Chains A and B, each alone.
Chain A
Amino acid sequence: MSFMPVMLWSDALVFLIIAVLLASAFVIRRRAHLLLPWRRVANSRMAMVSLLILSLFVLVGWLDTLHFRAALPAQNSLGKVYSTEVLSVFDVLVTPLRTHTEKTYSAPFALTLFAKESFTDAEGQVRRDYPRLQFGGAHLSDEAQRGRDVLQRASLGGLAGLLIGILACVAWAYLPRRSGQSLAQRCPIYALVSVLLTTTLLGAVCNLATVYHVLGTDKVGIDVLYLSLKSIRTGLIIGTVTTLVTLPLALFLGVAAGYFRGWVDDVIQYVYTVLSSIPSVLLIAAAVLMMQVTIDTHPHWFATSASRADLRLVFLCLILGMTSWTGLCRLLRGETLKLREMEYIQAAQAFGVSDLRILSRHIIPNVMHIILIAVVMDFSGLVLAEAVLSYVGVGVDPSMISFGTMINGARQEMGREPMVWWSLAAAFWFMLVLVLAANLFADAVRDAFDPRMNRT
Chain B
Amino acid sequence: MIAYLIRRILYAIPILIGVNLLTFALFFVVNTPDDMARMQLGVKRVTADAIDKWKQQRGYDQPLMFNASAAGTDTITHTIFWQKSASMFVLEFGYSDDGRSIGNEIVQRMTSSLAIALPTFLIGLFAYVSFALLMTLFRGTTLDMAGVALCVFLMSVSGLFYIIGGQFLVSKLWHLVPISGYANGWESCKFIVLPIVIGVVSGIGSSSRWYRTIFLEEMSKDYVRTARAKGLSELRVLFTHVLKNAMIPILTGVVVVIPLLFMGSLLTESFFGIPGLGSYTIDAINAQDFSVVRAMVFLGSLLYIVGLILTDISYTLVDPRVRLS
Give the interface of A toward B (CB within 8 A): 270-271, 273-275, 277-279, 281-283, 285-287, 289-290, 292-294, 296-297, 299, 380, 384, 387-388, 391-394, 403, 407, 411, 414, 419, 424, 428, 431-432, 435-436, 439-440, 443
The residue from B36, B260, B270, B305 contacting A293, defined by CB atoms under 8 A apart: B36
Give the docked Cα–Cα distance between A274 and B298 (Å).
11
Cβ-closest chain B residue relative to A438: B156
Q: Which of B31, B260, B288, B308 has most chain A Cβ within 10 Å?
A: B31
Q: Is the CB of A277 within 8 A of B35?
A: no
* Contact (Cβ within 8 A) A384 B159: yes
> Does B19 contact A274, Cβ atoms closer than 8 Å?
yes
Q: When the two chains form the complex, which single residue of B18, B266, B286 contacts A274, counting CB atoms closer than 8 Å?
A: B18
Mark out the residues of chain B between 277 and 310 whose CB falls within 8 Å of any chain A CB in the assembled complex.
Answer: 281-282, 285-286, 288, 290, 293-294, 296-297, 300-301, 304-305, 308
Known: A388-B160, A440-B152. Is A286-B23 also a contact (CB below 8 A)?
A: yes
Asked whether A281 lies within 8 Å of B266 as measured between CB atoms, the reply is yes
B311 in the interface, Cβ–Cβ < 8 Å? no
Asked if B304 contacts A279 (CB within 8 A), the reply is yes
A299 pairs with B300, CB closer than 8 A: no
The binding surface of chain B is classed by DSSP as helix
Q: How far is the CA of A407 from the CA of B163 in the complex (A)?
A: 12
Contact of B293 among A285, A391, A431, A435 (CB under 8 A): A285
Whole-angstrom CA separation of A114 from B23 in the bound complex: 48
Give the complex CA separation of A439 and B274 in angstroms: 33
Contact among A275, A281, A289, A439 with B155 in the assembled complex (CB-CB below 8 Å): A439
Q: State the Cβ distance, B34 to closest chain A Cβ, in Å.
A: 9
Chain A residues lying within 8 Å of B266, measured Cβ to Cβ, are: 281, 392
Judge whether A277 and B158 touch: CB under 8 Å.
no
Alpha-carbon separation in the docked complex, A424 to B164 (Å) = 9
**CA–CA, A164 to B304, complex, Å?**
56
| In the bound complex, CA of A240 to CA of B194 (Å) | 35
Beyond A290-B26, A414-B172, A443-B152: 16 further Cβ-contacts under 8 Å?
Answer: A271-B18, A277-B305, A278-B23, A278-B301, A281-B266, A286-B27, A287-B26, A388-B159, A411-B164, A414-B164, A414-B167, A424-B164, A431-B158, A435-B156, A436-B152, A440-B152
Q: Find chain A residues with CB under 8 A from B288 CB.
A: 289, 292
The residues of B that contact A380 with a CB separation of less than 8 Å are: 156
Residues 162-183 of chain B, each 1 if its beta carbon lies under 8 Å from chain A, else 0 = 0010011000100000000000
Closest chain-B Cβ to A277's Cβ sits at a distance in Å of: 4
Tell whether, in the assembled complex, residue B293 and residue A279 are in contact, meaning their CB atoms are under 8 Å apart: no
Q: Is the CB of A277 within 8 A of B15?
A: yes
Is B155 within 8 A of A279, CB to CB? Answer: no
Question: In chain A, what residue has the closest Cβ to B270?
Answer: A392
Q: Judge if B239 is at the interface, Cβ distance under 8 Å.
A: no
Q: With CB as the reference atom, state the residue of chain B lying closest to A287.
A: B26
The answer, among A297, A391, A435, A440, for a CB contact under 8 Å with B43, is A297
CB-defined contacts of B263 to chain A, threshold 8 Å: 279
B48 interface contact, C-beta 8 A: no
Per a CB cutoff under 8 Å, which of B39, B159, B286, B304 touches A393?
A: B286
With a 10 A CB-CB cut-off, give which of B31, B156, B168, B285 has the most chain A CB atoms: B156
**1/0 per residue B74-85: CB within 8 Å of A?**
000000000000
| B31 close to A439 (CB less than 8 A) | no
Q: Which of B14, B43, B168, B282 contacts A299 (CB 8 A)?
A: B43
List chain B residues, Cβ under 8 A from A275: 22
Q: Is A277 a contact partner of B19 (Cβ separation < 8 A)?
A: yes
Given contacts A287-B26, A392-B282, A428-B161, contact A278 B297 (CB under 8 A): yes
User: Does B168 lie within 8 Å of A414, measured CB to CB?
Assistant: yes
Query: Cβ of A407: which chain B residues have Cβ within 8 Å of it?
Result: 158, 160, 164
Chain A residues with CB under 8 A of B305: 277
Closest to B29 in A: A290
Q: Which residues of B contact A403 (CB under 8 A)?
A: 158
Min CB gap B220→A, angstroms = 9
Question: Is B91 in contact with chain A by the CB < 8 A criterion?
Answer: no
Residue B260 contacts which of A274, A279, A294 (CB distance < 8 angstroms)? A279
**Chain B positions within 8 Å of A435 at CB level:** 156-158
Structural contact, B15 and A436, CB atoms closer than 8 A: no
* Contact present for B286 and A436 (CB under 8 Å): no
Q: Is B38 an interface residue (CB 8 A)?
A: yes
Collect the chain A residues with CB atoms within 8 Å of residue B281's CB: 282, 285
Question: Which of chain B's residues have a CB closer than 8 A to the CB of A443?
Answer: 152
Q: Are A432 and B304 in contact (CB under 8 A)?
A: no
Please name all residues of chain A whose beta carbon is closer than 8 Å to the beta carbon of B308 when the two chains form the complex.
277
Question: Which residues of B are found within 8 Å of A271, using beta-carbon distances?
Answer: 18
Q: Chain A residues near B293 (CB, 8 Å)?
A: 282, 285-286, 289
Chain A residues closer than 8 Å to B23, beta-carbon distance: 278, 286
Q: How distant is the Cα of A77 from the Cα of B155 in the complex, in angstroms?
A: 59
CB-nearest residue of chain B to A283: B297
The 10 closest A-B pairs by CB, nearest first: A274-B18, A279-B300, A436-B156, A435-B156, A277-B301, A293-B31, A277-B304, A293-B39, A278-B301, A282-B297
Contact check: which of A274, A282, A388, A439 meets B158 at CB < 8 Å? A388
Chain A residues whose C-beta falls within 8 Å of the C-beta of B290 in the assembled complex: 289
Q: Name the distance in Å between A135's Cβ and chain B's nearest Cβ.
A: 29
- Of the listed residues B39, B158, B161, the one surrounded by the most CB atoms of chain A closer than 10 A to its CB is B158
In the bound complex, CA of A414 to CA of B272 (Å): 13
Interfacial chain A residues near B36, Cβ < 8 Å:
293
